[in-house]
Chains A and B, each alone.
Chain A
Amino acid sequence: MSKRGLFFCLCAVFAVYSVYVWTAGTDTPNIQPPSEQAKAGLALFQEKNCIACHQLYGLGGHMGPDLTNVASAPDKGVDYLKTFIANGTDKMPNFKFSEAEIDALAQFLVFLDRTGTYPPAHPEISWFGAVAYSGANNGK
């Protein structure tokens, strides 16, 4: 096969693969869509650049804790989240959020929490180094 032929074949496979990842590969039918409040919280999370310091599923900054499951952590929860969002800490600025904004951010984190578990609860490691994340595709 010519170089050009190989290049375009790879591009065609990449296109099919991308469409798969965008659709069936990332489908999560068991998870409820976000509420309007959670959507507003996500928008606020981005506007304030929270990802500079916090992580979602281990992706993002390192200054603050990962937020994936704080909403359901045994000694934390929604009120705990709201306290930090409202007041900040010695490392986190006080953004002076309104009550509605605090609720929206908390609802976004509740929605996020329902999408899965991080770090994975029961990873099964195979002999060749692959990991099966049991139940990971079904939310919590």
Chain B
Amino acid sequence: MANDTGLRFMLLGLLALAASLFFGVLSAFKFLYPEFLEALPFHKLRPLHVSLAVSWIFLTAIGGVYYYLPNLLGLALFSIRAARWHFWIFLVTGLAILGAYLLGQFGGREYWEFPPVLALPIFLSWILFAVNYFNTVIQRRSAWPVYFWMWGTGIVFFLLTFAESYLWLFPYFRENMARELAVQWKSYGSLVGSWNMLVYGTAIFVMEKISGNEAMAHSKMAFGLFFLGLFNLMFGWAHHTYPVPFAEWVRNFAYFVSMTELFILGKIIWDWRGSLSDYQKHRFRRPYRFLFAADIWVFINLVLALIISVPAFNLFTHGTHVIVAHTMGTTIGINTMILLGSIYFVLEQRDTDSALQTVSGMADHGYWLANGSLLIFFLALLVAGLIKGTYSGGSFGDMMASIEPFLLIFAVAGIGLMMGLWMVLLPALRRIYSLVFSVTARNPMRVENGQKTNL
């Protein structure tokens, strides 16, 4: 049985990203002009946008794991059939979720706005993924690189926190609002940590293969950062919920945990010069460029995360567009850049130089348009959020009117962002489509020490 499941996941991920951007732009204009597009009210558009964005992250990160294990790490998948089942369960459930939104059937939860019954096949598909992953990587007898730990941790903690996010189905949780909100956001904080484990593991894997330096994924620093990330995944969620009335120490502990990320910030600044000098060197220019952009967005978002995690500042930013800026900055600036880097790495390591010409110009222009638009988009949200957070005037309507010009800038920048990312993803989409549906294109190449060789 041919194993192209990784590429199929990536293909579906790219389609989800394209659609998510489209619904995101519609949502932004619907937010400003509610009479626009009456058939699709905001409470339907928002979940379409959010669920497709979350799907893009999971599908592409999962696709990377399924692709890299057999093709670049020499580990035959434990079960290709289980991987295929995983893919089809994801696809059918995803379509059911989109249908439920369009029909107005909701579960009404942040991230998981679909009816709860649809969580069951998602959970089942991740169990298949977990069994497949651990039975595959166990073949590696030597010490595991850090990305094996990160992928495994991401899978296990997705299952745990996804289950935790459905504790509200029990009256014990649902009927106590403090508990309901705290547990909901505790699970979401850790869930985001779990997908970050999958995405950052992918980033380290791609960096290792590009640089040819296998020692980096075994270094004490890499594992130190992994355990710091794990610590934050487990305990760093409560900055989302400072104003919710629960135990004071949980809040203060989360504040302390969030501040440990200062170490990561320091590390980024320390490595900055090295990153800049390395930028021009590598032959995997596009994936390296995406990882470089992610590095800058990590820096920007980490500074913002640290600021909004200080409870005294959080008083003014909680519930405002500053939080939206942070969410968008991390999902687009960091996760999306890393995952596009992963996809372009797959393409560049498979393709001949001549084939690569087909994905060059448009993707390069799109890269700059997307990052430039994202910066404007991000700044407009920050300003809107700060105005909202410090607003002391009249009604909610008056406050919204005062931030409307910035939300218009945000919406227009959203069009630029959508166009830019479409320019990046369309060539990749075409190429992966031809790889998946063309028998002759299935000739992967191995990358060792930064050099490409035929498998």
B313 touches A133 (CB 8 A): no
A3 to B183, CA, bound (A): 29
Given contacts A21-B182, A137-B248, A49 and B175 within 8 Å (CB-CB): no
Interface flag for A112 (CB, 8 Å): yes
B106 touches A22 (CB 8 A): no
Contacts of B105 in A (CB 8 A): 47
A90 touches B245 (CB 8 A): no
Interface centre among A6, A31, A49, A130 (most CB of B within 10 A): A49
B110 touches A56 (CB 8 A): no
B247 touches A48 (CB 8 A): no
Q: Which residues of chain A in 88-116 are interfacial with respect to chain B, using CB atoms and an 8 Å cutoff? A: 90-91, 93, 111-112, 115-116
Given contacts A46-B106, A49-B43, A50-B43, A22 and B173 within 8 Å (CB-CB): yes
Contacts of B149 in A (CB 8 A): 3, 7
Q: Of B109, B183, B318, B320, which contacts A22 at CB under 8 A?
A: B183
B235 touches A17 (CB 8 A): yes
Interface flag for B138 (CB, 8 Å): no
B243 touches A120 (CB 8 A): yes
Interface flag for B353 (CB, 8 Å): no
A25 touches B250 (CB 8 A): yes
B183 touches A49 (CB 8 A): no
Q: Which residues of chain A in 55-76 are interfacial with respect to chain B, using CB atoms and an 8 Å cutoff? A: 55-66
Contacts of A31 in B (CB 8 A): 176-177
Q: Considering the complex, give the chain A residue whose CB is closest to the CB of B179.
A: A26
A9 to B164, CA, bound (A): 20
Q: Main SS of the interface on chain B? A: helix
A87 to B108, CA, bound (A): 21
A129 touches B311 (CB 8 A): yes
A57 touches B243 (CB 8 A): yes
Q: 1/0 per position for B249-262, CB-CB distance to A under 8 A?
A: 01110010000000
A50 to B345, CA, bound (A): 41
B173 touches A25 (CB 8 A): no
Q: Of A33, A45, A139, which contacts B245 at CB under 8 A?
A: A139
A59 touches B34 (CB 8 A): no
A65 to B320, CA, bound (A): 11
Interface flag for B86 (CB, 8 Å): no
Q: 1/0 per position for A110-140, CB-CB distance to B under 8 A?
A: 0110011011100101000111110011110
CB<8 Å pairs between A and B, sample of 25: A6-B227, A7-B227, A7-B230, A10-B230, A18-B186, A25-B247, A26-B246, A26-B247, A39-B175, A52-B42, A52-B43, A52-B47, A52-B113, A56-B177, A62-B31, A62-B320, A65-B396, A90-B34, A91-B34, A115-B177, A118-B243, A131-B311, A133-B248, A137-B178, A139-B245
Residues of chain A touching chain B, judged by Cβ–Cβ distance below 8 Å, are 3, 6-7, 10, 13-14, 17-18, 21-22, 24-28, 31, 33-34, 39, 42, 45-53, 55-66, 90-91, 93, 111-112, 115-116, 118-120, 123, 125, 129-133, 136-139
Residues of chain B touching chain A, judged by Cβ–Cβ distance below 8 Å, are 31, 34-35, 41-44, 46-47, 105-110, 113, 149, 153, 164, 167, 173-179, 181-183, 185-186, 223, 227, 230-231, 234-235, 240-248, 250-252, 255, 310-315, 318-321, 324, 396
List the 9 shortest-distance A-B pairs measured between CB atoms, nearest first: A58-B319, A46-B108, A26-B179, A131-B311, A49-B106, A116-B245, A52-B43, A65-B396, A136-B245
